[in-house]
Amino acid sequence: MNRRFAVAIIIVLVPIVACALSASSCVSGGSSSGKGKTEIIRGRVKIYGNEPHTYAGIELEDKSKIYAVSPKEMDPVIRELQGHLIEFKVIMLVNPQGEASLFLKDGTVKLVSWKIIQ
């Protein structure tokens, strides 16, 4: 009976711990240090820099700010969204890391989700 109980506990706890670790990694921004608040922003994807060092960024609809996108692995995904007005749900990162953060000074965001508006 004790062995079955121990196996049942392991079966229940392993997915819970894995889920908790995964969620904390997502919220912290992966390789970026520090987390910020979640916001909804509207804007367009633009490409900045010169080859071979180009970066996808999000320019707000009113053109007041341009945000770098973290992690760098999201770059090819959001490049496909160029030419559309998009509503992004983002986490504003505090103390981001990466080259794009050095050039796009208004901040860095981690994408949570998005939808094409136009």
Cut 0.85: pTM above it: no
Q: Which domains does the chain have, with CATH numbers?
A: 38-116 (2.40.50)
Name which of 89, 47, 40 is nearest 66 in CA terms. 47
Report the alpha-carbon angle 7-26-59, nearest 5. 165
Averages of pLDDT over each 10 residues, the chain, 118 residues: 58 51 39 69 92 88 90 86 94 72 75 92
